[in-house]
Amino acid sequence: CKKIFLLGLKGMPIAILVKIFSFNRVKIISNIGGIEWERPQFSRLQQRYLRICFHLANLFCNKIILDNEYYLKFYDDNPESRKKLLLIPYGGTIDTSLSIEDSNLEKKYPFLKSRFFLSVGRSIEDNKLGELCSYFKKNPDSNLVLISNFSNSVYGKDIFRKFSSTSNIYLIDGLYIKSELDLLRRHCHAYIHTHTLCGSAPSLIEMIVARRPIFSIDVPQNRHTMKGSGFMFDDFSLLEELLQKDDLTDFISPTSVVSLYEWPHI
C-alpha cells in the first residue's frame, strides 16, 4: 500500500512499523478524533497509551486531520509544524422524506405530536446522559427523548434501567434509520447537546443543519462548532426557564453557520 488512513489513534504504532519497513514510502494520514486520552471510560494505562499515540502521530504522520479548530491548541504556532495539519469539519444533511402524519410512525413514537426535547449521543460517561436524565426526572412537565446505544455498555444499561420507566423520559436504544431520526430532529422543540470531550460532534452538526434551537453544554469544542449561536450552559439548572418557553427561535443557528456544514462540504 502507498497510504494508510487511520480513524483515531489506537493503531498508530502498527502504522509506524509499516512506514519504517517500507523505507518511508508509505504515507500515514490520521484523523485524531476527540481528546481520547481524557475519556473516563479508559483506564490510566489506556489513557497513557492514547496520549503516546497522539505524540507519535505528530512525529510520524504525513498529514493530520482535525475536525475542530479547538485542537490547534495542541500544536505549535510554528508554520513548519502546522504544514501537516488539515482542518476539515464534518458536514451533514437532513432527510425530509417522512411526514409526522404517518400513522405508523405516530404509534412508534407516541411523543411526536407533543412538545419534546431531543438528545442524541453514545452511552459513555463524558456525554453526561445520566445527569441529563436525572435533571428531566426532576422536571416532569418537560419531555425528553434520548437516543443512544444503551445496550452497548454497562453505563448505558444502567441508565436504561434507572430511567426507562420515568413517564416523561423516552429512551430509544439505537435508531439507525436516518429518515426516522431526522423526523425527530425536525420536530423536536429543541436539541440538548451534552458531549464534553468530542470534536465537532456529528450529532450537533446535524441539528445545526436541521435548523432547530440548540442548548449545548459549554466546552470549547462545542463553542467552535456553534460559532456563537445557540445557548451554552455549564449547569443543567440553567435550562429551567428555557424548558417552559414556546419561542426559542433565538437559539437557532443563523444561515451563516448552517452553510458551513450543509453538504456538499469539502
pLDDT tens per residue, range 9-67: 889 999 999 988 888 889 999 998 777 888 888 899 999 999 999 999 988 999 999 98
Identify residue 102 by its one-letter amino acid code: D
Angle between helix axes 154-163 and 129-137 (nearest 10 degrees) is: 10
pLDDT tens per residue, range 103-138: 788 889 999 989 999 999 999 999 999 999 999 999
Per-residue pLDDT for 266 more than 50? Answer: no
Cross-strand pairs, 105: none
Cell readout for 147 is 437516543
6-45 CB burial, b ≥16 within 10 A, e <16: beebeebeebbeebeeeeeebebbbbbbbbbbebeeeeee
Q: Please count the other Cβ atoms lying within 10 Å of the Cβ belonging to residue 86.
A: 11
pLDDT tens per residue, range 85-101: 998 888 999 999 999 88
Identify residue 40 by its one-letter amino acid code: P
Give the total residue count for the chain: 266
Residues 53 and 10: beta-carbon distance below 8 Å: yes
Identify residue 146 by its one-letter amino acid code: L
3-state helix, strand, coil in the chain (%, to 5): 45, 15, 40
What is the DSSP code (8-state) at residue 253? P
Residue 35 is predicted with a pLDDT of: 78
Q: pLDDT category, 234, cuts 50, 70, 90?
A: very high
pLDDT tens per residue, range 178-216: 999 999 999 999 999 999 988 889 999 999 999 999 999
φ/ψ of 140, rounded to 5, equals -65, -15
Q: Please count the other Cβ atoms lying within 10 Å of the Cβ belonging to residue 258.
A: 18
Does an H or E element contain 135, and which? helix 129-137
Cell readout for 158 is 444502567
pTM: 0.91
Strand pairing report for 3-7 and 231-233: unpaired
Q: How far is CA 259 from CA 14, 155, 251, in A?
A: 38, 36, 16
Per-residue pLDDT for 80 more than 80? Answer: no
